[in-house]
Amino acid sequence: MKDRIVFITGASSGIGLGCARKFASQGASLILNARNVTVLEDIKKELETKYATRVLLLPFDVRNRDEVAKALTSLSQEWQAVDVLINNAGLVIGLDKEHQGNLDEWDVVIDTNIKGLLTVTRLLVPGMVERGRGHIINIGSIAGDGAYPGGSVYCATKAAVKALSDGLRIDLVDTPLRVTNIKPGMVETNFSVVRFRGDKGAADRFYQGIHALSGDDVAETVYYAASAPEHVQIAEVLLMPTNQATSTLSYRKNV
Ligand SMILES: NC(=O)C1=CN([C@@H]2O[C@H](COP(=O)(O)OP(=O)(O)OC[C@H]3O[C@@H](n4cnc5c(N)ncnc54)[C@H](OP(=O)(O)O)[C@@H]3O)[C@@H](O)[C@H]2O)C=CC1
Ligand SMILES: CC(=O)[C@H](N)C(=O)O
């Protein structure tokens, strides 16, 4: 990874932060995105101090097409040649039934998880094609393999991430570029706090009795895919905690 440039969306927390730490520890230079600039600044300090890595912060909301375009087209020459794009920014709000949910919240989820990913992909992949080098790693989910109660819109967005990953892989088949869809099961991050609209107690109960994956666990898999030999394209990985069997079946101790 030395001298590689890795671009991570949603790098201020959870899986994105785990990826930032893992790739920095392996010598990559990082472009880190999220909306919360203060948190990003602390992460930049941590990574520069601990790994002596180069870090560029690009705070923007992936839903804001103009902001994304402005940030990406104004990258200086030394940061333009992105080698690995990790499309990770994503969220869900609520666990409502499809006929009862909030349309405005669904706009946020769809605009972030699908359209945000597409905007960044559309802007960065042409340069990769031109350079004949690049890897796009999308963070999908086990939720994209099938719907579960209260998850229909989120599951639909992750099914879309699978379709977009498959489609991009098809479109790039005559190039050296690779496309990977990483599909985690239960990961203990800030994701559930957002899902339960800031209710930390509800988020903690969701992980009670099970040793969930951490953002760092998922980052190891992302790194595995990114560091495979150039002729090896890891198309998809489904990873779960040992006591999770499907998106709806887990074993929880003493619960
Ligand atoms: N946790 C889990 O169980 C699983 C999560 N996933 C997926 O993993 C990805 C990361 O989630 P996870 O780490 O768990 O959750 P976190 O909530 O911990 O992290 C989400 C990250 O996305 C950023 N983000 C959210 N909205 C935007 C936006 N509009 N523009 C830019 N950045 C944004 C957040 O930063 P900020 O708020 O500062 O913008 C944060 O850095 C998501 O795509 C999620 O769907 C997949 C399977 C399982
Ligand atoms: C957040 C996720 O994607 C997780 N796999 C879930 O569906 O709860």
Is the CB–ligand 1 distance for residue 194 below 6 Å?
yes
Please give the structure tokens belonging to residue 109.
Answer: 């989820």
3-class DSSP assignment, residue 250:
strand
Q: What is the pLDDT of residue 254?
A: 82
Task: Encode the chain (255 residues) as per-residue pLDDT tens digits.
Answer: 998 999 999 999 999 999 999 999 999 999 999 999 999 999 999 999 999 999 999 999 999 999 999 999 999 999 999 999 999 999 999 999 999 999 999 999 999 999 999 999 999 999 999 999 999 999 999 999 999 999 999 999 999 999 999 999 999 999 999 999 999 999 999 999 999 999 999 999 999 999 999 999 999 999 999 999 999 999 999 999 999 999 999 999 987
In 3-state terms the chain splits into helix, strand, coil percentages (rounded to 5) of 45, 15, 40
CB of 185 shorter than 6 A to ligand 2: yes
ipTM of the complex: 0.98
Q: Cα(19)–Cα(31) distance, rounded to whole angstroms? A: 12
Nearest ligand to the CA atom of 117: 1
pLDDT at residue 23, rounded to an integer = 98
- Identify the CATH number of the domain in which residue 148 sits: 3.40.50.720
Classify residue 245: in a domain, yes or no.
no
Note whether residue 248 is domain-resident: no
- Kindly state whether residue 30 falls inside one of the protein's structural domains: yes
Closest-CA residue to 125 (of 84, 77, 67): 84
Asked if 137 and 22 touch (Cβ cutoff 8 Å), the reply is no
In contact, 222 and 19? CB cutoff 8 Å: yes
pLDDT of the residue at 3: 87
Residue 255 in any domain: the answer is: no
- Can you give the residue range of the structural domain that contains 192? 5-239
Measured in whole angstroms, how far is the alpha carbon of residue 138 from the centre of its chain? 6
Give the residue among 21, 23, 5 at the shortest CA–CA distance from 13. 21
d(CA 36, CA 55): 16
Quick check: is 70 in a domain? Answer: yes
CB 10 within 8 A of CB 88: yes
- From the CB of 13, is ligand 1 less than 6 Å away? yes
Helix (H, G, I), strand (E, B) or coil at 219: helix
Is 154 marked active-site? yes
HEC profile of 109-146: HHHHHHHHHHHHHHHHHHHHHHHCCCEEEEECCHHHHC
* pLDDT for residue 6: 98
Q: In angstroms, what is the span from residue 143 Cα to ligand 2's centroid?
A: 6
Query: Of the residues 154, 207, 223, 224, which is catalytic?
Result: 154
Position 249 in a domain: no
148 located within any domain: yes
Distance CA 140, CA 49 (A): 31
What does each C-alpha distance from 209 to 185, 193, 199, 214 come to in angstroms? 15, 17, 19, 15
Residue 64: name the closest of 119, 139, 135, 114 by CA. Answer: 119
The number of folded domains in the chain is 1
Position 222 in a domain: yes
Q: Residue 48 contacts by C-beta under 8 Å, 6 or more apart in sequence?
A: 54, 55
Extract the tokens encoding 78. Answer: 């030394």
